[in-house]
Each structure stands twice: as structure tokens, then as C-alpha cells.
Structure 1
Amino acid sequence: MTAAESSRKFAWPPRELFALVAKEPVLSILIAALIALQCWHPQPWRALPVLVDWATVMTLAGLLILTKAIELSGFLMWLAHRVVRHVHSERALACLLIGLAAALSMLVTNDVALFVVVPLVLSLNKLTPLPVARLTIFAALAVNAGSILTPLGNPQNLFLWQTSGVSFGGFVYALLPLCAVLMVLLYALAFVSFKPRRLDLSHDAAVQPVDQPYAATAALLFVAFVLLADSHHVDIGLIGVGLGFLVWRREAVLKIDWALLLIFVLMFVVLRSAAALPSIKQTIAAIDIGTPLRAYVAGAVLSQGISNVPAAIMLAEFTRDWRALAFGVSVGGFGIAIGSLANLIAVRLAGERRIWFAFHLLSIPFWIVGGALGAWLLAWQ
């Protein structure tokens, strides 16, 4: 193949780019929002990359590679068989997945937990028909609820923990009531949302062989990568994981969801550009969020527009009550999908376009009820 032929093969003509954007509603919205912001409050284009949290993007890229490697190794299909053998109803499966997602999110962040649970749901669906969209939605709600408990659970917790100066145990103790209440609420919702019908295993097939060296290497690198990311060396982790798999098993790199990475890059640019607008900052200052309840409400509501991580960073400039703010942005992860980046990851991994309406049909009422319970806890303690 000549260089010209190779160039034509891998070129992305405008028509294909337009088709990609048209198939990705979130990407379309972000591009439109970026254009609107640049018209209203223009910034030099070369300054926009500075707005991107490249550590988060690199972490996402590494996790995409590692979870793709685990998927390609056949481990998830093997695990799916094992899970199905011990679960005999749809409701029991939902409860198991909710607990797994919440527990993982407390230790390795809500995003990482989703990269484990949602692919598992998709693998299980190949064995027996499942309500994939509903299970994915509950997984998203579960990681948002579970990640509240620890400073490692999500980015906004890390930020608030570091700026508050409170101990790790003190942070957990302060957030435990909210986490517990929301998990009880989530299990109650799951009980009425899933039927106790038996799972149909009639289409079960022979257990797929696992490429053990592939799976073991991916699992070890998964742990190492998360540790490097937590110690602020995600760039080293991504280089090691990316180059290693490109040399050894390149399909783990080539087959990841590149559009999701682009969505995250644009999200940081758009959300941080909007958060920096003088009118928005003046509005927050005028509201006066000096009291715990106002800080809580501001965090829960503002998260619906710019996501809970930027909301936490912005509102921290106007209040010293880190606990009220942590409560607010934690509840703010529910409601509209953009309230938490984990929601977008879950919806994206599910691969079902009709999931958006179903997600908001559950998440918005959960945000309202959870918000009321959070306000009661804040006032009671």
C-alpha cells in the first residue's frame, strides 16, 4: 500500500465526521455549546486545552484499554456464567449488582466501578435476556450513592477532602449518614423496579475459555494503573499500559471507544468555560451561600448544569462548610445525567440510545427524594 493510499484509507472526510457527530447526541450538544460560548465570551483557541483535566482524560483512556483487554480475554463471559449459577431471579441479580457497584466505587472511584459492572451486565445479557438499560441505570445510581462514603470515591470528594484538612476517618464519618440513606432508598427502588421472576438459562452455552495470561496481565495492570493514578502518576501508567498493549495485544488499544474520550475533552472545555463566566460567578456571590442549607442546595442544583465536580470547585470559593457542600454535590450527581460524569459513562457503555429517557425517569425523582432526605440529615445533625 502506498503512502497516498494509506492516507486515503485512514482519512476522516467531512461526511464521516458529520455522521459521527450526528450519532452522538452528547457530542453534538457539547460542540454546539462550545460554539455558543466562543461567540458569547470568546477565548483564544490555543487556551482551551488548558481547561481540560488531562489527568482525568488519561485515566479514562487507561481504563478503557484495560477493561477492553479484560473483555477480550474472555474473563467477563466466564465471570457471567459464575454469577448466573448463584443468582436465580432478576431482583436478586439487581441487588447483587447494586452492592457490587457501590462497594467498588468506595475504593476505586465511581468511574472505575462502572467499567467493571456495566460490561458484566452486557456479558450476562448474552446468557439470558435481561433489562440491560434498567440494570445499567441502577449501576449508575449505585456508584453515585456508594462513592459518597470515601475521599477516594469520586473527584469532588478528593478535592473537598484535601481542601478541608479533615482526616480520612473524619470524612467517612461525616458522609456515612447520607451514603447509608441513599443506599437504602436505592434498594427500596430496586425492589419495586425488578420482578422476582426466575432467570431464563435456556440459552446458556458452554463456558468460554479464558485467555489466562491476557486476563491476569490486564488485572495486574488494572491495579497498578489505579495506584499510579491515585498517586498522580497517571501519565506514566498510561504510557506503560498503552505501549505495552500496542506491542503485545494491540486490539485492546485500537478497539476502545475513542468517541467517549473526545466527549470528555469537550466536556471539560465547555463546563469550565461556563463556570468561569463573570455573570455566573456574580450570581453565586449574590445568592450568599454562607449557611449550610444554602450551600447544600447550591451544590445540588448547580451540579445539574455543570456537573458536580466543577460545581464543587466553584462553590468552594464561596463557603467554608465543606460537609454541606459535599452533601450537595453528592446529591447533585443524581437528577440530570450531566450531574455526574459517571452517569454519562454508564449510559455510553450500555450502548442503547433509548436509555436516556428511562435514565431520567428514575434519576430525577431519585434526586428530588434524595435531596429532601439530604437536607433533613444536614439539619438534624
Structure 2
Amino acid sequence: MRPVIAFIKREAVLIVLLVALIALQAAHPQPWHALAGMIDRETMLTLGGLLVLTKAIEQTGAMNWAAHRLLHRVHSERGLAIVLVLFAAGLSTVLTNDVALFAVIPVAISIQKLVEMSLRRLVSVIALAVNAGSILTPLGNPQNLFLWHASGVSFGAFVWTLTPLTIALMAGLLVLTAMLFKSCALDIPDDAQSAPVDRAALARAATLFVIFVVLADLHHAAIGCAIVLVLIGLTRWRAIVEIDWLLLLVFALMFVVLRSVANLPIVHDACTHANLGEPLHAFFVAAITSQVISNVPAAIMLESFTKTWQALAYGVSVGGFGWCIGSLANLIAMRLAPVKGLFWRFHVVSVPFFVFALVVGAWLTRWI
């Protein structure tokens, strides 16, 4: 019985999604082939490829080396946390929030193995950072890419519109990070030595990483994933065996459950009568809806009900904070760092930040 209870606690999101799927099927039964069709194949293939590549890079010793290099340049907890937050936010503007997590979270895990530092708090602010940083550009996250194409504005016009919200949220996040981490010096053990890096394997994995990201961006994730599985399987097959397979299951269930909720007649009726032509209404509905069905499906569902794409973009951006399913990046962050108590610690930080973002976003929406 104890192993079952431990599994339920460890896989709380998975259990909730399974229960939700059962409830939805009982209330509004759908054929299983229709449910399978709701799973975004490109996203699943991209996530699988990134999991394998990240594990392969980790096994080369590169993350441990990067952690040592960073520790010898930043000498306080607060400074280190701020550097990681800025690095994660910067990467997310060009590599998407999900990819940025795959680059930064393993480094944070390696750092925590070397010094006394709360990994729960560190992962929480990094997750907030990629959500905040990714707001800036159309490349930062899927909802931005969708709204950019739907709006018809130029790349520069989109960035200009989202810049005030990005600056405000990043400023708030930096203040929050400074409050969560002490200014005390890092206690680095004298015997902490960087392990040797398999440079040849790292070069192969890094090259594959770039190729895979380019192919995924061109919507050829299947080809990229096949290349990764073949080449990594021939050289580092353990990277495939040891990835978090349950994360892939969680994402598959997320697509099925959240898209099923979005398709409910009651949800569409509510959107029809929500007066989404008014910017503030569109902002608040987008932010709250994202808390229930995640910000990507919220953007797709609400776009046809409003012409104020700016307010919608602000709303789904803010909706990425708060409850973990607001942004799929939150789930990735928690799965990449499976540390005890992270689920609750994340929400202790994320929910208050969501309230802050909601207030700031509403004020800025008035000036759009």
C-alpha cells in the first residue's frame, strides 16, 4: 500500500488528469480514436527528442562542468539565482520556454549537488523566468506564435506590444528572486572538482540538438526524432532508456483532457457571452481560462471571439503563471527536477506571482 500512496503523491498531476479524463468520458463520451486525435503529434515528438538529447548531454558530464564554472564566477546564493533567472529568460525569447528549461534546469540540478541551496526555490523561479521571458517574442512560446500569425502584424510590432508586460514581469521576478535567496556566500567544498567531460560525445549531442531544434521549428519533428533515436541509440542507448517516460504520458493526457474541456458546449457558450470585444474582459477571461485549460488552448479557443489580439496575448501570457497547468513549461520544470515537495513549493511562489501579474497586466491592458 505504501508504494501506491508514494506513487500517487509523486505523480499527483498524472492522477488528476486520469480522474478528469474518466469524468469527462462519463459526462460526454467520445470515441477513443477522437481522443487520440487530440494529441499534438509534433509536440510529443519534439518533447521526446528533447528528453533524449538532454539526457545524452547530461551523461557527458557537461552539466557538472557548467555548474562548476558558474560557481567560481558567482559567489552568493542571490547572485547565482539571478544569473540563472536572467539566462533562462533570455534563452526563452529565442529558443521557446520549453527548450530553455532543458538547457537550464540540468545545470541547476548539478549546482545543487555541489552547494547547499534550495533546488525547489531555484526551479520555481526558473520556471517563472522562462514564462516571463518568452512573452517578448513570437518565438518564445506556441501561443505567441499562433497569435502573431493570427494578428497579421510584423515581428517588430508584436515585440513592441509585448515589451511593457515583459519588462514589468521580469522586474517583479527579479525582486521576488532577491527576496527568496540570501546574499550569503556560497559554501563550495574544497574537494569539489569538475568531472571530466566527454568532449566528443558532447560535440555529437550538441550538434544533434541544433539539428533537431531546426527540424522541429520547420515542423519536421518526426524526422528529427528518428535521427536522434538512431544516432543516440547507437552511441548512448541509456539516454533513451532513462528518460522520463511518464512525462510523455502526462503531456498526452494534458492534450486530451484540456482540449476536451475546451470543446464543451458550456465553455463555448461562456465565451460567446463574455463580451470579449472589450480589452479588459478579453484579458481577464484569457488569464482565468488559461488556469483551467492551459494558455495555448486558451489562445486558440478565444482568438475567434475577440479582435483585440493584444489583450488576448497579455491574458494568456499572465495565465502561464499560477496553477501548474497554466503553462506546459511549468510541468516540464517540475518533471526535470523531481525533488520532494516541489509541486507545493512551486505553487507557493507561482500563485502570488500570478496575482501580481494579473494586476500589472490589467493596468497595462488599459493602455493598449
Q: For the superposition of Structure 1 and Structure 2, which TM-score range results when normalised by the shorter chain?
A: over 0.9
> Which residue matches 2:336?
349
Report how far residue 22 of structure 1 moved: 6.3
> Which residue matches 1:224?
211
Q: Deviations over 1:13-44 (max 9, x none)?
A: xx999985664111111111000000000000
| 1:188 and 2:153 matched | no
> Which residue matches 1:5?
none
> Which residue matches 2:129?
142
> Which residue matches 2:92?
105
Deviates more, 1:362-371 or 1:104-113: 362-371
Preserved CA contact (<8 Å) 1:128 1:203:
no
RMSD: 1.5
User: Aligned in 2, Cα 1:70/1:377: closer, same or farther, shift over 3 Å?
Assistant: same
> Which residue matches 1:275?
262
Specify which of 142, 154, 157 is matched with residue 155 of structure 1: 142
Specify which of 209, 223, 227 is matched with residue 240 of structure 1: 227
> Which residue matches 2:351?
364
Structure 2 unaligned residues grouped into runs of 5+: none
Identity, % of aligned positions:
54
Report how far residue 360 of structure 1 moved: 1.3
> Which residue matches 1:305?
292
Deviates more, 1:309-318 or 1:240-249: 240-249
> Which residue matches 2:160?
173
Report how far residue 204 of structure 1 moved: 4.3
Aligned-partner Cα distance in 2 for 1:23–1:170: 43
Structure 1 unaligned residues grouped into runs of 5+: 1-14
User: Aligned in 2, Cα 1:204/1:272: closer, same or farther, shift over 3 Å?
Assistant: farther
Preserved CA contact (<8 Å) 1:127 1:204:
no
> Which residue matches 1:288?
275
Report how far residue 349 of structure 1 moved: 1.4
One-letter code aligned to 2:58: E
User: Aligned in 2, Cα 1:17/1:214: closer, same or farther, shift over 3 Å?
Assistant: farther
Q: Deviations over 1:167-225 (max 9, x none)?
A: 11111111011001100010011111111011011254222000111111111111111
Aligned-partner Cα distance in 2 for 1:195–1:340: 28
Q: Which runs of 4+ in 1 moved over 3 A?
A: 15-23
Specify which of 255, 265, 284 is matched with residue 252 of structure 2: 265
> Which residue matches 1:57?
44
| 1:123 and 2:110 matched | yes
Specify which of 314, 321, 327 is matched with residue 340 of structure 1: 327
Length-normalised TM-score, structure 2: 0.97
Preserved CA contact (<8 Å) 1:58 1:234:
yes
User: Aligned in 2, Cα 1:213/1:110: closer, same or farther, shift over 3 Å?
Assistant: same
Deviates more, 1:355-364 or 1:67-76: 355-364
| 1:205 and 2:185 matched | no
User: Aligned in 2, Cα 1:206/1:67: closer, same or farther, shift over 3 Å?
Assistant: same
Length-normalised TM-score, structure 1: 0.94
Q: Deviations over 1:216-259 (max 9, x none)?
A: 11111111111111111111100100111112211111111000
